[in-house]
Chains A and B, each alone.
Chain A
């Protein structure tokens, strides 16, 4: 089955930029979605189709996807961005969605 690998953790100071990678075989040929999970809250879609933002998501959240790596970038990080982030793709051959391993973003 298709495997998506993310770094377990990323630490960033407020105001700096956090980059979260999602590695998968030729992931650049697939559409990647990103979700934010804060403890005790419903998950939130922050980027879809590689680089599009849903209504209400700040422009500080952006995405890119090429080759074997997709990246979620959070610019001007704020304390409220501290959360777990998951990438997701449709596993074409498997016929179901696959989530990445998840990355915990810590704001120092």
Chain B
């Protein structure tokens, strides 16, 4: 069974760093792309970008380029989304999601990680 299990909710202060995770199972981690999707409370979905764990090739939505970093650890089948300096506007639910190819739809999603940034 394909599963994407995300790390738990986080509460951080502005300026702090953060790394959230997405651990996958049930398929070959290095053969599919992992995308990240943001949902600000009360708002819609935004596609942030994607990483191919096989070679760490990444593609960022220009709106998120330079604001976040995607990475992957093949040894533990885990993808990461990280911030070096959080802002209040980063408060959102973040989903990881599996794509077979970059331009193919998301076929499996994680359960989401709520990140709250507040002073």
Q: Name A residues whose Cβ lies closer than 8 Å to a Cβ of B.
A: 33, 35, 37, 41-45, 48-49, 54, 86, 88, 90, 94-102
Residue of A nearest to B64 (CB): A96
Task: Determine chain A's interface SS by DSSP, over half rule.
Answer: strand
Asked if B46 and A88 make an inter-chain contact with CB atoms under 8 angstroms apart, the answer reads no
> Closest 4 CB pairs between A and B?
A97-B47, A33-B105, A99-B45, A42-B109
B26 within 8 A of A: no
Contact across chains for A96 and B106 when beta carbons are under 8 A apart: no
11 contacts between A and B (CB under 8 A): A35-B45, A42-B112, A45-B106, A48-B105, A49-B105, A88-B45, A88-B106, A94-B62, A96-B60, A100-B44, A102-B44
Supposing A42-B95, A90-B103, A94-B62 touch, asked if A99 and B44 sit within 8 A by C-beta, the answer is: yes
Closest residue of A by beta carbon distance from B4? A42
Main secondary structure of the interface of B (DSSP, over half): strand
Interface of B with A (CB < 8 Å)? 4, 35, 37, 44-47, 49, 59-62, 95, 97, 103, 105-107, 109-112
